[in-house]
Amino acid sequence: MPDTTTFNDLLRHLVGFDTTSHKSNLGLIHFVRDYLNQYGVPSTLIENGNKDKANLFASIGPDTLTGGVVLSGHTDVVPVVDQIWSSDPFTLTRLGDKLFGRGTCDMKGFIALVLAAVPEMATAPLKYPIHIALTHDEETTFEGVANLLPELVAMRLSPQAVIIGEPTEMRLVNAHKGQGHLETVVRGVEGHASLPDRGVNAIGYATRLIAGLAEIGESAKQRTSAVPGLDPAFTTVNVGRIEGGAQFNIIPGRCRFEWEYRSIPDATSRSIVDEFDEFSTMLAKEMAARNEKAGILTRALLEVPAMTPQPDSPAERLVTQLYDCGDPIGIAFGTEAPCYQQAEMPVVVFGPGSIEQAHQPDEFVRIEQLQRCTEFLRNLIQHLTHT
């Protein structure tokens, strides 16, 4: 069982590195690399384009790429700006059965548990390997996992299970919604407000587009997912920001809005973006007929696919065999899991802590949750030693 002093020390260090997504995570990554080195475990670092962030990949046990597990966690955390904390967010603070600090729950607690178990992993006569994968920019662009996966595919890594230790309160998660963040820019033609037909009103067309999105969102409510745990169980749409126009007596030449969708895992229904594109193309034609300079441009700022349930996958079987985690459920938040699914690696989301505390001021993880995860990791090491 991982030593509690070691675990506390590790988590204290991990929380102490301010790895807010827009900052470098290299301090943390080098700390982990040096720690693993002490146990004879070499790390591969995969740097980003700017070389100010890195993923870390390390393998323990037999030198085989088939079977075994990948224990995966993201090293970045969400910002603490504009949040009121009762204690310093980057200083691990214990109060009763809770450990407070940014990332304790999402998801440095899990990473510290895995690292604390490394001495045991390194000495156990493992028959299958345990890989550790740490990524950057999970909270923002998914750039880390996007850089990591081609490397894993190139080395022909074929694990029995990838376990992403996001906070699920140690429930087995096999599905979640996809998410898209988009920007639509409506380009109109400015003019004097007294002569509306001489210009093209960008705000007017933007409101029609937004009304169209609302209708698309209404009809999406009819298509519900059977996956338990998705709340709500249908695809949602939200327009969250709008700007445009100069003043009341000028026909606005530009209007821009940002919107998002969260889509249920369902390959059969048409995507929200396709429906929007069809409507947008129709309106753009109408605008171009009035003035060829007018038009609509939509681009995705971020798109993350849904995690599709793969009932009875090797990953699900492994976790349910080793831990009493109940029937698999879906969750409302996104993870790196669909990226592993695209690389055809069986994956589940399964880790300590509750998403209710993630991203919040006074983020914490309960010690009881950490103990449960420790128990799972112990079972996992034994299993990979004795199968």
Q: Which residues bind Zn ion (CB under 5 A)?
A: 106-107, 166
Residues 386 and 115: their CA atoms lie apart, in Å, by 21
Cβ 73 to Zn ion shortest distance, Å:
8
For the question of residue 63 being annotated catalytic, the response is no
Work out how close the CB of 79 gets to Zn ion at its nearest, in angstroms, rounded to a whole number: 14
Least distance in angstroms from the C-beta of 241 to Zn ion: 24
Closest distance to Zn ion from the beta carbon of 343 (Å): 19
Compute the least distance from the CB of residue 83 to Zn ion, in Å: 17
Nearer to Zn ion, 106 or 266 (CB): 106
Q: Which is nearer to Zn ion, 166 or 266 (CB)?
A: 166
Among 106, 137, 138, 363, the active-site one is 138
Cβ nearer to Zn ion, comparing 111 with 216: 111
Query: Of the two residues 25 and 160, which places its CB atom closer to Zn ion in the complex?
Result: 25
CB of 103 to Zn ion, least distance (A): 9
Residue 18 annotated among the catalytic residues of the structure: no
Q: Judged by CB, which is closer to Zn ion: 77, or 209?
A: 77
CB of 171 to Zn ion, least distance (A): 15
Please, which residue, 138 or 266, has the CB nearer to Zn ion? 138
| Catalytic hit among 3, 9, 52, 76 | 76
Q: Which is nearer to Zn ion, 187 or 262 (CB)?
A: 262
Lookup: tokens for 252:
């606005």
Q: What angle do CA 349, 355, 357 make, to 5 degrees?
A: 145
SS (H, E, C) the chain: CCCHHHHHHHHHHHHHCCCECCCCCHHHHHHHHHHHHHCCCCEEEEECCCCCCEEEEEEECCCCCECCEEEEEECCECCCCCCCCCCCCCCCEEECCEEECCCHHHHHHHHHHHHHCHHHHHHCCCCCCEEEEEECCCCCCCHHHHHHHHHHHHCCCECCEEEECCCCCCCCEEEECEEEEEEEEEECECEECCCHHHCECHHHHHHHHHHHHHHHHHHHCCCCCCCCCCCCCCCEEEEEEEEECCCCCEECCEEEEEEEEEECCCCCCCCHHHHHHHHHHHHHHHHHHHCCCCEEEEEEEEEECCECCCCCCHHHHHHHHHCCCCCCEEECCCCCHHHHHHCCCCEEECCCCCCCCCCCCCCEEEHHHHHHHHHHHHHHHHHHHHC
| Residue with the shortest CB distance to Zn ion | 106
Rounded Cα distance between 93 and 108, Å, is 14
Q: Catalogue the active-site residues.
A: 76, 138
